Structure 1
């Protein structure tokens, strides 16, 4: 039902070169996590995503599609790497969704971790 964020990112060689290729779930996982599911000491860089909003497109003929606003957050400890990761993630998702907002470009004052966030709108036919 929700957009296929993980498969889209896993299919991108530019993304997996940065966040793991998934050749082994223990030693080389693809580090894409639904919001709140990344482990405390996850290897950086990584990507998280959440669905803060959605909507059903309903016509007189019935339910046609669902739209989802998906927030995608890129995380890194390196200021240059975060830019590369964010660009790769954007390029991997734009063929499947509409990029509608840049939400954050910041550095956490406590962890010193960089974050770049996007909002994408996905339309999922029903």
Structure 2
């Protein structure tokens, strides 16, 4: 099992207003189809570990995720970033803010954050 980022975000009307439905443009890293309409979001697991106990086996895993928004404008990237942040923060912990820049080659705006997500087994 992994962090339920897609399920949580796809259930948020604020997120789907910006990222659509059928499909919701929220993809595991490397799986956004070529030519995907912007804005879109990719996420990836960058760390993880079980929550260990001395007297029993782990019943919870911790996933560290990196979430990145790609958009045509800074304001669009910001709107998606904020909608995702609000949806995810109800289920997990926002632990840091990442890239906030414009790509020199594609001219896409990119804005991201990191998440710690505890998943019960």
Alignment: residue pair count: 120
- 2:116 aligned with 1:121: yes
Normalization by structure 2: what TM-score? 0.96
What is the CA deviation profile of residues 38-88 of structure 1, one whole-angstrom value per residue up to 9, with x for unaligned ones? 112111001110001001112121112100001111110112111111100
- Runs of 4+ in structure 1 deviating by more than 2 angstroms, as ranges, are none
CA RMSD of aligned residues (A): 0.8
- 2:20 aligned with 1:31: no
Structure 1 partner of 2:6: 6
- 2:68 aligned with 1:63: no
Give the Cα–Cα distance (whole angstroms) in 2 for the partners of residues 64 and 20 of structure 1. 34
Structure 1 partner of 2:17: 17
Q: Secondary structure at the match of 1:87?
A: helix
Structure 1: tracts of 5 or more residues without a match: 23-28
